[in-house]
Amino acid sequence: MGVNNRESGERAEVSEEQVTEAKARAARLLLAFRHGNQLAYDALVEEFGTDERTIDLVSMLCWIANEGVRKAYLPEAGDRVLRHMVRRADVGDRDVLTEDGAGPDVAELIEAVAAEDVKAVQEIVRGTPDTTFLLGRFVLAFAMLLPDIPRPVLREVVRELREQ
């Protein structure tokens, strides 16, 4: 496989090992993107560069790749394919946390929201490897609280949300 060197016009050969490593890095990035693992995603994006245009490009490519994986595979099969690509490359840390236990206790988030502590909420969310589970637990907590909310208050909240 050759790669065109723009400056010299020459084609440089890329080894199979380099290709495998690049695929593994891309698979790790996509796993982090798919699972809302903001910490891993940010760290992996930094490897590509930190200027705004590069970050935007990487994000758009992840979105496109995720749509392709989502349409081609069942969710668990898509993750298996990506993890297989990661395992094939024998380089560095290969894990991307997607486990339910990876998130903090949702009670901390509820307490921070109740205290209107924006900084604490941001820290909890940023410090959560997999925000999918955090959001799921937060929705469960809300569902548990829902029966205790007076109907007029609930109707007012729903009306305000629809106006936004």
pLDDT digits (tens, 9 = 90+) for 68-120: 988 898 877 888 888 777 777 665 554 554 554 555 677 888 888 889 999 98
Count of beta carbons in the 10 Å neighbourhood of residue 4? 9
Q: What pLDDT, on a 0 to 100 scale, did the predictor assign at position 61?
A: 92
**Contact assessment for residue 109 and residue 90, using Cβ atoms and an 8 Å cutoff:** no
Name the range with the highest mean pLDDT among 97-111, 115-129, 149-163: 149-163
Instruction: Say yes or no: 111 and 77 in one domain.
Output: no
Half-sphere exposure at residue 93, Cβ-oriented, CA atoms within 13 angstroms: 7
Compute the mean pLDDT over every residue in the chain, rounded to the nearest whole number.
Answer: 79
Domain count, the chain: 2
Q: Measure Cα distances from 140 to 53, 106, 133, 143, 144 in Å.
A: 37, 10, 10, 5, 6
Q: What is the span of the domain harbouring residue 119? A: 101-163
Say which residue the tokens 């486990």 belong to: 99
Instruction: Say yes or no: 66 and 127 in one domain.
Output: no
Count of beta carbons in the 10 Å neighbourhood of residue 94? 16
Q: Which of 63, 96, 129 is the last residue of a domain?
A: 96
User: Does the reported pTM lie above 0.85?
Assistant: no
Instruction: Say yes or no: 121 and 144 in one domain.
Output: yes
Instruction: Say yes or no: 38 and 82 in one domain.
Output: yes
